[in-house]
Structure 1
């Protein structure tokens, strides 16, 4: 279930500085209506005030010798840090401060007596001020106008203003400890039913969500042992959630289960003709004998439970159960006036069980631990340093349904895959015609750890704020898993196709036990990857003038290529004279990294390091018009992506001769069957992956321009231009491949492997217009519209689109990688975000003067609404029935010129717009040339903070995700060979309700 962002009552936090340096001991007063809260800044200039309700507030900062500063702030959980820059008083201001005219001080004894008589401190203070005649100004002790000391007569009891008598004194009765309890509940009874793409309502399972936790904060004190101990924070949270999604599928029907395909039609609407792969003759009446291996796997498919639907014939609600425990702690101690030591420790355990379409329930157990120890030292008011050590450890264990349960492959007579009990289960079956893939999770145990050391120093000199530092991280990625131990079979209909037009069927191929392609990868399950990362940086925040600030710096970052602790990596050595055609390749091992073809010596990472990661950055902020609210800011920077090495090393760690790794295509020279589909062929290289040893780390250039100005009626408008340019992106292709039906240019050249190089490029430009209405009379709103366009020819973009090599896009034509240039997978042309918030009881027309029980009932309710609307994301049309060198789902069809959208039978895409490319030709459809379904969602929340007796505070939130219960889809089926082409692939979540409570005391 989703929840709208919380709007809890939050502390008012801020920073007070002078000339960029923190100011300790400044008095900060937060006023909200008739309520006032007072505190002072700490040694770092920070302040925090607890108590104000969410909404508008006025912050006044005062310090002897400085001009008072007043800020209008918004109290909210996500409010920005309030910043106040003090200015020295002028000589005239100081002289006027030294000659005040004040009422005679009211003695402490008199104040105490009057309080006892009336019991009304504000009235006593007011009366004292009214009755005491003002003395001559020259008789007033000027020293009394300096810094007031607690316990002097200058407290609220002697003030002429309406203040509590304790104001100005130490609140000794206030507890130094704070506690909070929180809970969030949800139940499927109030949630909408999942949308059914198949048009069939399945029973809604009973699901629930329960989250609870507590936190404690305060100093550690042990009587007689530890008087002034460190401050401790401990928080614990428990989540126990279940969720369900109605998932449709296409499974073999009663006829297909007995090999009867006589009722099926081909793409032209004619009776289907299927041929016997062994004899080349048509099966009589399309009756296909079922092999024992196919029968064993066919029995794992559920029976259809939907009739009358030509697209989907099966639907079931899939339930996911999640249990999570999280602990967070923080200990900090100030030592003297110059040192502070802080330690943090966070741990999280997550257990998840989830089902797939076949009823297989897999389980995962994730455990994470993060800790930090830091030491901050202040040498002077101008120089501060921070040194920290970080340690993290994460583990992830996946236990599939079939592990140690049943050896499905062995019982079915499937040979050549891993028969270890940890990897028992069926092989993965993929079908080009839309039949649901048979699959289950792979057993794995991952353990990652990081040790890091960071240093940061800050120095202020004149109008410059210098920051310099560096980081060192030693990372390890430990795997106990196989890449593809059970193997994968793909059926395209090629085996049972013959001379008749439209003949052949992927289901017939499966029943006959003849796959079009197969893939396998297993061997050394344990892999111990290591990487070292360094960086250093220097930044100057230069306040050139009151209207111009320049922030410039440079960063150097180096991420070493990943190595394996036991040197178990395999790459491909490509002869330099044949690098363009890959006519000759040979494996090269990290244990003996010298190429047998080229004689080249490689590092034990098998990829050469890139040490040119210099990243300059600059930003400016400028007020071009004096006295105007207009602010113009701009920036430019370069960032390197050093995270690409992990995926590269993981692919190199699962290859021959260290393990069995094959990608095969059925042919006369290399016949494949379900029984024997994982045996090596002389025409296929036993390695499946290679990378350019001179692979270069990609980098991203970013630039931006921003103009902001205040408008009448509490409005603020911002115009933003953002641009970036990616260089050296990863490109994945299949050497020596040709279009289906083409004559091989090099028949003896090695095929069946992927190769990675760094020649990609990407660009993205966007324009944004933001209109904000500041909080006024309880109303706050924000509107942000983004228009953008992104283009690339990369196979994997770090953090965007395909982020790992396992999900990377393979180029169609390896000799023309520029043809891959198209829209990025994350290109969303239009995006609109709107936020509306209203708080009752604020402003003249909002009921601020309402009192009594009506005021208590009506005031301080906050309603939040978030609206997100955007155009669809790009999708690529694929002709998955076409396989090349053992690979499929990367070949694109031809475009016929018919409209792309508006298909028949409820389809959003038009099947007539595409056709299989002519033999010997690559399809001319561009990558990501389709636009997926548009997105729209509206989330809302109702929030209030109740102030209870005994200093208790209760926060309540009722949130609704997709409050309008609007149906939207995540994607379309873009495989032109599938019977589901043009239909929605999945529906997004429907309406769900969630209630949250937090008790603070």
Structure 2
């Protein structure tokens, strides 16, 4: 990895009333190409160059009136995951060498995927033989972002009022090529759908899933974000200050500079390209293909009140609006024919059918052109809105003595119009006609981006702070909180087995309401700094000689500690429905009683429960036997299971985040001192101990009840102990 950065800055005073600043920044980050002994994997290289200019001019009209004007430009270029053939065995003829009849823009050959990431309805992942993937899907993406910033702030001091008004204009230019999850080289997947083993499917040339995207180059999306604000800090009395403000912002609907994007009218099911006849009538904006929002008013109110010398009460309320980002492949410029894509999902073999597998020779089309029809479309709700976030705080700080204070506070937040992704072509009931069957077919996909999600957060916070006294200072923070939502966002929550970004039932978002991915009931952190009382000018060793003082005097110890309770776990299960939904949860029958908990079985092995209830009869006379959590579920009914697979065309009854993962603990320590050499010259020594006691804090357990490793924890969230020594010369 190489990362070079540099800045040039000029500050110049033009006159007693004017000063200017100019800065130019440039950076280049790139990865070295790793070497592979056998060219069956093709590592990607990355490059991230950056350039930026910032300008600032401050003009003082008078001691009470000051104006600040600013402008800037930044350019980020992101070229990521470009495959490299490090041994030169395959080059750009790799597909033909291994028998795949498809052109290729990069060296290597199409990805041979054994992960079974394309879930097979009703099939247990425990039946799969996992094998290392090889080849490359050619997921190289190319992004150029230009951001232009213009702003002006005017500050006026008027008796008891400190007023600030300003405007801000942001211009976004995003030129992006993203080939999706299947890439421009293509993905060929073996899922055990025909022999029961993905390796056996590979040997017998039976492919379950194939996909590839067209190599069409960048599209260019554009947007202005304009805002104006006024803020008044009003000193009402000597012990009461009010903060009153209002901000208004307009987010221009995002459009493609050459009209290379399209949208589906969710009411009529008609697909429109930008600028086409009827697009303005259908969406309100013929280029962006969704309505603008003109109601982004954001009031701010706050106060600080000191009823007595040792106590301060603070509170505030504010509204924030912002248009959330989404995954690149949910953008409207990713629609055909502007970003053509081909996908094929086979029908798995059954007792009465051999299924519909593809072969390597026929899996990927030889041409993925703009005229290729697609069974997947992206759609944005024509009434897409910026997120509407309200936040309210109330706290009191009390000074126990001249060195110690305590803060007790409440923080609350609610959010509406949050982004969610929905399976738009989901059937309303098994056997019904799909809503957009005429556009994408009965089993096709319309991925809808809408703003129908919500969240809320409530927290009590306690803080104790001790200012430096006798060489010791510290701060302790504790939060008791609850965060709830019905959608984790398109990217979910990293390293958390939480809810899917898609609702299980696209017509009932409330059923996905539960703890957010980062919901922690208890969260504590602490920092402390202690200057050891030994050495010249200290309590002990004040008369020690030079050598003793240099060795033992002037040391400072710093410590940080953090601990929080476990993150939520959502129990998922095989998808037994036939309604085109994108995620599935297990059935939840009763409270999970955990006993004999280990890392190999985080949910325990106890098969007794407080209130046994029978499991529903399996439909169509099919008998399912599955050992889960130490209990066995069979045909008609069984007792003792907290969770089980769904049986037939039903949604899993398990809610989001019903179980919890292990908590987290970490303590870091630092010791250091400065060794004086001559006058102001010194050597500063420092020793850092990260996770000093090597505490293992574990990640979430596997959460799929049909997985052979259900309930097992195989990795840690915490870093291993790391010790770092450093020496700095100060002069």
User: Which residue number in structure 2 is paired with residue 450 of structure 1?
Assistant: 147
How far apart, in 1, do the equivalents of 2:456 and 2:405 lie? 30
5 Å matches for 1:577-588?
Answer: 585-588=269-272
Distance 1:349 1:880, change over 3 A: farther
Give yes or no for the alignment of 1:956 onto 2:641: no
SS at match of 1:811: coil
Q: Distance between the aligned counterparts of 1:539 and 1:924, measured in 2?
A: 49
SS at match of 1:653: helix
Match of 1:652 among 308, 326, 332: 332
Q: How big is the shift at 1:377?
A: 0.9
For 2:432 and 2:204, locate their aligned partners in 1 and report how far apart those are by CA, in whole Å: 29
Deviation at 1:984, TM superposition (A): 2.2
Which residue is 1:594 aligned to?
A: 278
Using the alignment, how far apart are the partners of 1:601 and 1:539 within structure 2?
Answer: 34
Offset, 1:648: 6.6
Gaps of 5+ in 2: 117-124, 348-352, 605-627, 630-641
- Return the alpha-carbon distance in structure 1 between the equivalents of residues 447 and 112 of structure 2: 22
Which position in structure 2 is the counterpart of 1:169?
none
Give 2:405's aligned residue.
716
1:351 to 18, 24, 30: 30
Which deviations, in whole Å up to 9, do the C-alpha atoms of 1:240-267 show, x marking residues without a partner? xxxxxxxxxxxxxxxxxxxxxxxxxxxx
Matches within 5 A, 1:831-870: 831-841=523-533, 846-847=539-540, 849-850=542-543, 852-853=545-546, 854-870=548-564
Q: Which residue does the alignment assign to 2:620?
A: none
Query: Number of matched residues?
Result: 651
Matched with 1:924 is 653
RMSD: 3.4
SS at match of 1:456: strand
Any residues of structure 2 matched to 1:591-990 within 5 Å, and which? 591-592=275-276, 594-595=278-279, 602-625=285-308, 628-644=309-325, 647=327, 651-667=331-347, 671-675=356-360, 676-677=362-363, 686-712=375-401, 714-738=403-427, 742-746=430-434, 748=437, 750=441, 751-796=444-489, 801=493, 809-841=501-533, 846-847=539-540, 849-850=542-543, 852-853=545-546, 854-879=548-573, 890-897=583-590, 899=592, 906-909=600-603, 911-912=628-629, 913-949=642-678, 951-987=680-716, 988-990=718-720
The 3 A distance-change label for structure 1 pair 401 and 663 is closer
- 1:450 and 1:574 map into 2 onto residues whose CA distance is 32
- 1:438 and 2:127 are equivalent in the alignment: no
> Which residue of the partner structure matches residue 999 of structure 1?
729
Deviation (angstroms), 1:899: 2.6
State the partner residue of 1:405.
91
- Equivalent-residue separation in structure 1 for 2:189 and 2:109 (angstroms): 20
Change beyond 3 A, Cα 1:835–1:874: same
Q: Offset at 1:631?
A: 0.6
* Superposed displacement of residue 400, structure 1: 3.7
SS of 2:91's partner is coil
1:328 match: 7
Structure 1 counterpart SS, 2:451:
strand
Residue aligned with 2:307, SS: coil
Over 3 Å counting, the alpha-carbon distance change for 1:897 and 1:859 in structure 2 is same
Shift in Å, 1:877 = 2.2
CA positional deviation for 1:387: 0.6
TM-superposed deviation, 1:606: 1.3
SS class of match (2:571): coil
Kept after mapping to 1: 8 A contact 2:531/2:554: yes
Mapped to 2, the partners of 1:370 and 1:606 lie a distance apart of 32
Cα pair distance change 1:477/1:687, threshold 3 Å = same
Distance 1:706 1:990 in 2: 38
Task: Tell me how far 1:603 sits from its aligned partner.
Answer: 2.4
- Higher RCO, Cα 8 Å, sep 6+: 1
CA distance in 1, matches of 2:541, 2:302: 43
Given that residues 685 and 752 in structure 1 are in contact (C-alpha distance below 8 angstroms), is that contact kept between their aligned partners in structure 2? no
Task: Report SS of the residue matched to 1:706.
Answer: strand
1:362 lines up with 2:56 in the alignment: no
- The residue aligned with 2:70 is 388
Shift of 1:929: 2.5
CA drift of 1:739 comes to 9.7
Cα 1:523/1:400, change in 2 over 3 Å: closer
SS of the residue corresponding to residue 430 of structure 1 reads coil
> How far does residue 506 in structure 1 lie from its aligned partner after superposition?
5.1
Contact 1:393/1:449 (CA < 8 Å) preserved in 2? yes
Q: Deviations over 1:833-875 (max 9, x none)?
A: 0112101248997438455424444443211111111112223
**CA drift at 1:343:** 1.8
Q: Which TM-score applies when normalising by structure 2? A: 0.81
Distance, in Å, in 2 between the alignment partners of 1:545 and 1:833 is 36
Larger radius of gyration: 1
1:575-628 alpha-carbon deviations (Å, 9 max, x no partner): 44xxxxxxxx232111426359x8666420112211211110111111112xx2
SS of 1:970's equivalent in the other structure is coil
